[in-house]
Amino acid sequence: MNAIQIELNGRPHPADATYTLADLVAKLGLAGKSLAISINREVVKRGDWPTRRIEAADRIEIVHAIGGG
Amino acid sequence: MNLNDLPAGADTDHQLTVAGKTYNSKLLVGTGKYKDFQETRDAVVASDTDIVTVTVRRVNIGQHQNEPNLLDFVPPGEFTILPNTGGCYNAADAVYTLQMAREMLGGHSLCKLEVLGDEKTLFPNMPETLKAAETLIKDGFDVMVYCSDDPIQAKMLEDMGCVAIMPLASLIGSGMGILNPWNLSLIIEQTQVPVIVDAGVGTASDAAIAMELGCDGVLMNTAIAKANDPIRMALAMRDAVRAGRNAYLAGRMPKRFAASPSSPMAGLMT
């Protein structure tokens, strides 16, 4: 375990330096949903989620589709 | 009486072709402001549209993880999902939003760009819109662009490579209808890619008027979602867009300042 702090959707969030993005998505209960994720405003492709590690102070955004015109 | 007895071609040309792909309706609808996802779906189905706009927002972390998702109700397999940049006030935010949307939708390149100018009018910020359009087109997006009804800037967007020009008819969500048909006509006349009236339609007659001007399509959200009965209004919009298209293709009679009897005078019994 190597506890770190990230910023997730604009708020501080605890994480672990061993986590990949796929781990984070699973921990959040979001696996299998239609999402997109960026780290520090850079889009991370879904195929890279299992290998992309999270680092301290990363600004991560997870988005989904909602109603809009 | 049988409609199949009509001459061939009498009721054709209700499709819309954007970026090389043909859709079965000239109506595009938004998914905002509905009571719930079921009502959204029912209205979308009633409108008979193929293209549905959505917006992209942060997931609420730690909440409602089992709540249904909009895309479960309007699935990408059934509709073409058109992600928009609603709420973006500069080019950088709009580009980032659409890059996220493309990833979310598995690489799908068709998008609706809107860069807003201020919260009161939601009028487009055209310099930022032009900047964002250029970046997105270089990045491989097929950009359908919400814009002012200024023919000069509409032409700039077309020349840049936007796949549809989408001028407002009046302010977003205002339901004020077609306020400047003359500018829209200028844009329609000069534009080679589809022109889609985006924003301002309030009721079915507005949609018909837009189509009678010769538009290639109409995009609306609030007019359906905020009607007392959205599903019935979606049906009305479906019919209005078809009616307006048929009226445009039929070519209206000239206006005249005197009456002209529809029944012949010859043989009148006096």
Interface pTM, i.e. ipTM: 0.95
* Out of A33, A65, A69, closest to residue B222 by CB: A69
Q: Is residue B12 part of a domain?
A: no
pLDDT of residue B32: 95
Residue B14, in any domain of the structure: no
In a domain, B31, yes or no: yes
- Residue A62 in contact with partner chain B when CB distance is under 8 A: yes
**Residues of the domain holding B79:** 21-250
pLDDT of B8 strictly over 70: yes
B69 is in an annotated binding site: no
- Do residue B103 and residue A62 have CB atoms under 8 angstroms apart? no
Task: For residue B63, name the pLDDT band (cuts at 50, 70, 90).
Answer: low
Catalytic residue among B21, B112, B138, B226: B112
Strand partners, A8: A11, A60
Residue B132 lies in a domain: yes
Residue B16 lies in a domain: no
Q: Please tell me the pTM assigned to this model.
A: 0.93
CATH code for the domain of B230: 3.20.20.70
Chain B contact set for A64 (CB, 8 A): 56-57, 59, 69-71, 104
Report pLDDT for B64: 59
Contact residues on chain A for B61, CB-CB shorter than 8 A = 8-9, 11, 13, 28, 62
- Residue B1 above 90 pLDDT? no
Asked whether the beta carbons of B121 and B95 are under 8 A apart, the reply is no
Active site residue B112: yes
As a whole-number percent, the residues of chain B with pLDDT over 70 amount to 99
Which regions of chain B does DSSP assign to beta strands (E)? 16-18, 21-23, 27-30, 51-58, 80-83, 110-113, 142-147, 164-167, 196-198, 217-220
In a domain, B144, yes or no: yes
Q: Which member of B54, B62, B65 has the closest CB to residue A68?
A: B54
Chain A: residue whose CA lies nearest to B96: A41
Query: How many angstroms separate the CA atoms of B100 and A45, rounded?
Result: 9
Two tokens, residue B109: 């390149």
**CA dist list (Å): B118 to B80, B94, B148, B213, B257:** 29, 15, 13, 29, 44
Residues in chain A: 69
Structure token digits, residue A10? 């604009």
Instruction: Tell me whether residue B199 is annotated as binding.
Output: yes
- Identify whether B244 is part of a domain: yes
CB contacts < 8 A, A to B, total: 104
Write the CB contacts of B44 (distance below 8 Å, at least 6 apart in sequence): B29, B31, B52, B74, B79, B234
B87 falls within a domain: yes
CB pair distance less than 8 Å for A69 and B220: yes
CA atoms within 13 A on the CB side of B235: 4
Number of domains chain B contains: 1
Phi and psi torsions of B35, nearest 5°: -65, -45
Which chain A residues are closer than 8 Å to B59 by Cβ? 9, 28, 30, 35, 62-64
Percent of chain B with pLDDT over 90: 89
* Whether residue B24 has pLDDT greater than 90: yes
pLDDT digits (tens, 9 = 90+) for B119-171: 999 999 999 999 999 999 999 999 999 999 999 999 999 999 999 999 999 99
Q: Among B80, B103, B122, which would you mutate to test the A interface (most chain A Cβ atoms within 10 Å of its Cβ)?
A: B103
